[in-house]
Amino acid sequence: MLEPYTQIGGTTYPTYTLLLGLSILVSAGIGLLRLRGGVAPGRLANVYLVTLVFAVIGARAEHVLLHWDHFGDNLGDITNLYTGGLNWHGAVLGGLLAVYMMGRWRGLDRVRLRDSLVLALPLIALGSWWGCGASHCAYGREVATLADYPAWVAAESADVYGIVLPRYNTQIFGMVLALAGVVFAGLLVWRGWLPSRRFWLVLALLAGGQFLIGFFRDDPMPFLAGLRADQWLDALVCAWAVVLSYKA
């Protein structure tokens, strides 16, 4: 795994932030290329910028609500993004709201706008999970002994508190899921299959995978009826995406 911080030109940056930022830039570049000729690059860049802002707001709002036991007593931490704390369900909902609003305001085809972001879903997931490997977020549950597992399934790793124990490699699980999403989305785009449905299908794949990975995670999260709160959201997003893919 990478180190928590990366030095570039004498300046030190959080590796998670760098990888997430890089995945967002690559995703935006792919979207611009896919819509070239149909939408002015400047207009599309503005749409993507607003989408990013709404996605960050949604991701932070979800994180704060899920961890209100902390933020309720530390209101000043709500806007402190430097310490991390973004949840993907809120990012997707915020981003889709922005795409709908900006598409309507700018008179753009909202289905094409949404489809231009189909590769962004797994690419940003890949950057996030890779970054978690460096910052030790979304870490795995402790296992009894590493001898029972292949090296890629479990290893000695730290949590966000720096405690090193034999754990499930949940960050690797997430990266594998994201790469599968990249391949799936790339195939759909390359072959031109299901243009109005592929965004929802890729979203359903990622949400379902996130739900399964949740059984191996040990990072703090409220539980409800035996499942992590984010697993319930994973399941809801997966079901929602399947329904919308059917209706599209």
Q: How far apart are CA 212 and CA 217, in angstroms?
A: 10
Mean pLDDT of successive 10-residue stretches along the chain, which has 248 residues: 85 91 95 80 86 96 93 86 85 96 88 94 97 94 95 93 95 98 97 96 98 97 96 98 93
CB 43 within 8 A of CB 31: no
Number of domains composing the chain? 1
- Output the pLDDT for position 45: 87
Q: How far apart are CA 28 and CA 95, in angstroms?
A: 13
Q: How far apart are CA 226 and CA 196, in angstroms?
A: 36
Q: How far apart are CA 83 and CA 66, in angstroms?
A: 16
- Output the pLDDT for position 56: 95
Q: How many CB atoms lie within 10 A of CB 164?
A: 10
Q: Within the chain, what is the greatest distance between any pair of CA atoms?
A: 59
Total residue count of the chain as it appears in this document: 248
- Output the pLDDT for position 41: 72
The structure's pTM equals 0.94
Residue type, 202: V
Q: How far apart are CA 204 and CA 236, in angstroms?
A: 10
- Output the pLDDT for position 198: 97
Domain range for 142 is 5-247
Residues in contact with 66: Cβ distance below 8 Å, sequence separation at least 6, in sequence order: 87, 221, 222, 229, 230
DSSP label of 220: -
- Output the pLDDT for position 1: 67
- Output the pLDDT for position 80: 83
CB 95 within 8 A of CB 55: yes
DSSP label of 159: -
